[in-house]
A and B are shown apart, each in its own frame.
Chain A
Amino acid sequence: MPGSELTPRGASAPRVTVWLIILLALVVGLALWSLNVGASRMSLLNVLTGDPDDRLSKILFASRLPRTLALLLAGSALAVAGLILQMMARNRLVEPSTVGTMEAAALGLLVLAWLAPGAPLPLRFALVSVFALGGTLIFLAVLRRIALRSALIVPLVGLVLAGVIAAAGALLAQQLDLSQSLRAWNSGDFSAVLRGRYELLWLAAGLTVVAMLAADRFTVIGLGKDFATNVGVNYGRLMLLGLLLVAMISASVVVVVGAIPFIGLVAPNLVRWLCGDQLRRSIPLVALLGAALMLAADLAGRLIIHPFEVPSSGLLAVTGCLVFLVILIRGRKQWA
């Protein structure tokens, strides 16, 4: 196995099935744990054994269940968005938080706070989506104009663009005295998730399903425009679909909980490492692994200084950076 981790290979059906079962069990286990952990002393057993008074069911149904669902939905959606973006950029080292999508979405929230602070949710979502779309488009447009596309140039271009957008946001926030708010939106955290305040993420789940259904065609995009056109895929339309999916998924997550980094990078790459490159079979694995990572990060955030919380985005950023480095180092031969 060593030395061949990152070389593409076909996913054998039994192997995928085994991992599917393992990851499903992991996600179910983490979700149950997530239902069981919170600032109050209530545990799942209380509901099953004790008399479920109003307070217990309130905590479970108003706080813990929505939070757990939000984690599942956001984690899986971001993982799949990362995968789609990687196919579109034809590079596996990019994801929405390293190419400017998330930064642009946070900039959108900032502009909203500035010009229309009381805007209703649909309007907020629409405007933030437009920003996220813009950020992603800039990245892909710049990428098209770069002739020499070594595997490392692509993520670097993304990071530079993300940095520029983040700097623009920081400058505007400084002028508007909203630096702290921008920081909150840039570091996603599920502590304020409640029944009635996360439902936008179901839209992200719907988009994720669309992405899964279109997965085959995105595999073709990954092989290049000429190839895609030759096998009869409408390249332009598919790129637009991919863009919309990535932008709207990122926007829904940023609007509900703030920017969440690295899930879109780590989940697809780990799945490739486990099962190979064939997307059609492995895309459910990517979604499950994304959900598992998101749940694990948020659980850690809830447990480290219980009953207070550490934002899960911070924990993900640290682990995500490490995984990013490992991928870079292990894949060096391949990138060189």
Chain B
Amino acid sequence: MLPHALRRGLSVTGLLLATSFSAAALANETVTIQHSSGETEVPVNPQKAVVIDWSTLDTLQQLGVTVQGTPSNTAPELLKQYRDGDFIRAGSLFEPDLEVLQSTQPDLIITGRRAQGQYAEVAKFGPTIDVTPDPKDLLGSLERNTRLLGQIYAREAEAEALISKLEASVQELRKLTAEQGNGLLVLTTGGRMAAFGSGTRFGMIHDVFGLPQAVDNLQVGRHGHSVSFEFLLEANPDWLFVMDRDAAIGREGVAAAQLMDNELVKATTAGQKGQIVYLDPVSWYLLDNSGIGVMQTSVETLIEAFSAANR
């Protein structure tokens, strides 16, 4: 039985697009893509694609595609093929460099969540698709985006293979989380921490992976709630997930582990059982787990953590 989120991911439009359009599109060399900000006709196998979204670059890497343009920021380790070399550098994730887009005339532009507000501006400079995930259906969005990238680069079979593999892993993870008690996720920044619950940007730990929440009124706001260590003790989660925001940008020295190493956290069930999991901030924070490569890795990491606890 597929969970709700998965069923929605295999929506009717997605299936239609994947099957009927692709054959015709190849002949015309274009394909019509339905995305988060509308519908756009884009060339198949674009020759000058600019992708201002790390997660999309991750998915494309999994599909075996290298694009011509990336964000200007230094690429994370897992995308190191884009660190050096002759790529178009098209501004920050939040603010695409419109002048670069104008001068380079890409035949495909892909923007993500952080630049969603700029979509209309960016779309003036070439066929643009917006892959912002639906926060209520993160897994479905990821699958949809993987499929549409497969279509654009004529790698539908590879896309489906990645999706099936991920779905199997998610199923395995959900079986494990069903019997592991509850969990709480905190993000640490500059020595402070905020808690995130279902429906937030890190809510997939509950919403997709099925772990019950240790505190059930945590939903409000994408940026979470500032909390104290006393809050952690009171919430007393069986599993504590910690994401070090400062490490997302390569500051491993100021470890969240140091922040969490205190008597109150140690007194929680998670602390006593050693069930504190440090999540990879590049996957979870920088890429929002919205690329199929990082998502697969995140799911596998959690499977490993939960299986170890079962033994």
Q: Do A and B come from one complex?
A: yes
Residues of A with Cβ closer than 8 Å to B? 38-41, 55, 58-59, 62-64, 67, 109, 113, 117-118, 176-178, 180-185, 189, 191-192, 194-197, 258, 305, 307-311
The reply to whether A113 and B230 contact each other, CB–CB distance below 8 Å, is: no
The answer to whether B264 and A63 have CB atoms under 8 Å apart is yes
What's the least CB distance linking B265 to chain A, in Å?
A: 10
State which size class the interface on B falls in: 20 to 34
A91 and B96 CA atoms in complex are apart in Å by 46
Judging by beta carbons under 8 Å apart, are A176 and B229 in contact? Answer: no
Whether A118 contacts B190 in the complex (CB less than 8 A), given A180-B245, A308-B195, comes out as no
Closest 10 CB pairs of A and B: A184-B190, A117-B253, A39-B231, A308-B225, A177-B249, A181-B190, A40-B234, A118-B253, A191-B228, A309-B226
B254 at the interface (CB under 8 A from A): yes
Nearest opposing residue in chain B for A63, CB measure: B230
Within residues 179 to 233 of chain B, which ones have a CB less than 8 A from any CB in chain A? 189-193, 195, 225-231, 233
Whether A62 contacts B191 by the Cβ 8 Å rule is: no
A110 to chain B, nearest CB (A): 10
| B binding-site residues for A, Cβ under 8 Å | 73, 189-193, 195, 225-231, 233-234, 245-246, 248-249, 251-254, 259, 262-264, 267
With a cutoff of 8 Å between Cβ atoms, the chain B residues found around residue A184 in the complex are: 189-192
How far, in angstroms, from A184 to B262 measured CA to CA in the complex?
21
Question: Which chain A residues lie closer than 8 Å to B230 at the CB level?
Answer: 38-40, 59, 63-64
For the complex, what is the distance from the CA of A182 to the CA of B262, rounded to whole Å? 24
A-B contact pairs, 11 of them (CB 8 A): A39-B228, A40-B230, A55-B233, A58-B233, A67-B228, A117-B253, A180-B245, A184-B189, A184-B191, A307-B234, A310-B226
Which of chain A's residues have a CB closer than 8 A to the CB of B191?
184, 192, 258
Partner of B227 from A39, A58, A64, A185 at Cβ < 8 Å:
A39
Residue of A whose beta carbon sits closest to that of B74: A177
* Min CB–CB distance B131 → chain A (angstroms): 22
Nearest CB in chain B: distance from A161 CB, A:
24
Taking CB atoms, residues of chain A closer than 8 Å to B263 are 58, 62, 194-195
Minimum distance in angstroms from A256 CB to a CB of chain B: 9
A118 and B246 alpha carbons, distance in the complex (Å): 12
> A63 and B228 in contact (CB under 8 A), knowing A180-B245, A181-B246?
yes
**Shortest CB–CB separation between residue B67 and chain A, in angstroms?**
22
User: Which of A67, A176, A181, A197 neighbours the largest number of chain B CB atoms within 10 Å of its CB?
Assistant: A181
In the complex, what distance in Å separates the CA atom of A73 from the CA atom of B2?
Answer: 57
B10 shortest CB reach to chain A, Å? 36
Cβ–Cβ contact A191 & B246, under 8 A: no
B234 touches A308 (CB 8 A): no
Contacts of A194 in B (CB 8 A): 229, 262-264
Cβ contacts under 8 Å, A185 to chain B: 190
Whether B231 pairs with A307 at a CB distance below 8 angstroms is: yes
Smallest CB separation, B86 vs chain A (Å): 23
Chain A, residue nearest B259 (CB): A192
Bound Cα distance from A64 to B192, whole angstroms = 17
Cα separation A291 to B54 with both chains bound (whole Å): 47
Note all chain A residues with C-beta closer than 8 A to B233. Answer: 39-40, 55, 58-59, 63
A58 shortest CB reach to chain B, Å: 6
Judge whether A308 and B226 touch: CB under 8 Å.
yes
Report yes or no: A189 in contact with B192, Cβ–Cβ below 8 A: yes
Q: Report which residue of B227, B229, B230, B259 has the largest number of chain A beta carbons within 10 angstroms of its beta carbon.
A: B230
The interface residues of chain A lying within 8 Å CB-to-CB of B251 are: 113, 117, 178
Chain A residues with CB below 8 A from B189, complex form: 180-181, 184
Contact of B73 among A177, A178, A183, A307 (CB under 8 A): A177
- In the complex, what distance in Å separates the CA atom of A324 from the CA atom of B263? 41
Residues in chain A near residue B192, CB distance under 8 A: 184, 189, 191-192, 258
The distance in angstroms between the C-alpha atoms of A277 and B73, with both chains bound, is 54
**A192 and B229: CB pair below 8 A?**
yes
- CB-based nearest A residue for B286: A177
Interchain CB contact under 8 A, A62 and B231? no
